[in-house]
Amino acid sequence: MSTLLIPTRNRPTSLSSVLHFLARYYRSTRVIVADGSDEEFKNHNRRNIEALKQDLTIDYRPYPAEFPYFDRLLDVLRGERSEYLIMGSDDDFPMMDTLGEAEAFLLQNKDYCVAAGMLVVLRLDSPTKLSAKPFLARPIIGDTPLTRARQFAQWSFQTTYAVTRRDVLIERYERASQLFLVSFYDFSVGIQDCMHGKIKALPKIGFIKTANYKHSYLKPEAALIVLRRSELVLQTLDQIRRDLMQYAGLDEQEAQAHSEVFIRQRIAELVGRPIHAMKGFEERGPYLNPVVQKQFDIFDTLFEKDTPIRAQYEEKLKYILAAIKASAQSDDNKGEKNKNETLEDQMGDPLVAVGFPEEG
């Protein structure tokens, strides 16, 4: 089983819930906790991890609170020897059976660099309101980097919480340490993944992700970020252009034209014109793909009584719901802004979860 890497900062209650979840359901998991918390929260994490040392293999790595998030991840990744790793989060619950299957597939199919299941997001919107939403994973299986990028860009999805080749992760975070734009991060990561290989989508749940009304998240602080951060949008476009030249073998003019199309597609998603809202979308190939349809079926029956999927996840869902409520009532992220938009903001306030699925 690939190692699960969990970056954390100032969320001891949430982190403890995830670690206890793994100790209860997936005891064979090896976990690396990259902790950039303030000292008070680090002490909580140390005590919680010490209490679990007989039940779960945890490699605890504390970092100074001012140490940048992506540098923390790179420090861990450069020291690992595993070909594949799983990126996790301190408030999201991995289904390690699905991820184990994903790793087994990657080991047998070297033309793939990422394998992911669907994300089910549970949001505690208030003390009495819980909402759920699916974020689908799609198979991207074109034979060339350009074909794969086209497939991905027309209906993008998050590839962060998955089993991923280590060299791809290192390049991902080296880039992010130099260029990061919150509403384009997952999109540019997915395009980058397409440069390195195919993407496997499993018709199963990969993570149950959570959010609550108290925590702080890395999200746009206001609308029209595409205008307010236009310089970073153009830098992202330029990065995609260079990738298409390097990995797809396009000349500069071709690469520029394709990268502009991709960025326009992402902007359309952000301003309310995503492909899945367009007329006739349900008759198109991406929607009708059997893996995608199976994920819709899973989500639909997950919240119905007396279905096989509900029975399979019933106990875990109860645990996760209790964990969300406990996190919302805790001192995790106490005093922090609800939204941070830039890395500079994050260095001013405690750094929080990167890659949380955006509304849409």
Choose among 358, 183, 349, 199: nearest CA to 289: 199
What is the pLDDT at residue 274? 87
- What does residue 50 show for φ and ψ, rounded to 5 degrees? -60, -40
Cβ atoms 31, 4 nearer than 8 A: yes
pTM of the model: 0.93
What is the pLDDT at residue 85? 98
pLDDT beyond 70 at 160: yes
Pick 6 or 348 by higher pLDDT.
6
**∠ CA 247-251-252, rounded to 5°:** 100
Query: Counting every residue, how long is the chain?
Result: 360
Beta bridge partners of 123: 131, 211
Of the pLDDT bands very low, low, confident and very high (cuts 50, 70, 90), residue 351 is very low
Report the first-to-last Cα separation within the chain, whole angstroms.
33
Lowest mean per-residue pLDDT among 103-117, 248-262, 337-351: 337-351
Mean pLDDT value across residues 329-347: 79
**∠ CA 319-324-327, rounded to 5°:** 120
| Residue whose tokens read 């007329």 | 279
CB neighbour list of residue 285: distance below 8 Å, 6 or more residues apart: none
Residue 172 is encoded by which pair of tokens?
Answer: 């991902």
| Residue whose tokens read 């922090």 | 336
What is the pLDDT at residue 276? 87
- What does residue 164 show for φ and ψ, rounded to 5 degrees? -135, 145
Cβ atoms 319, 21 nearer than 8 A: yes
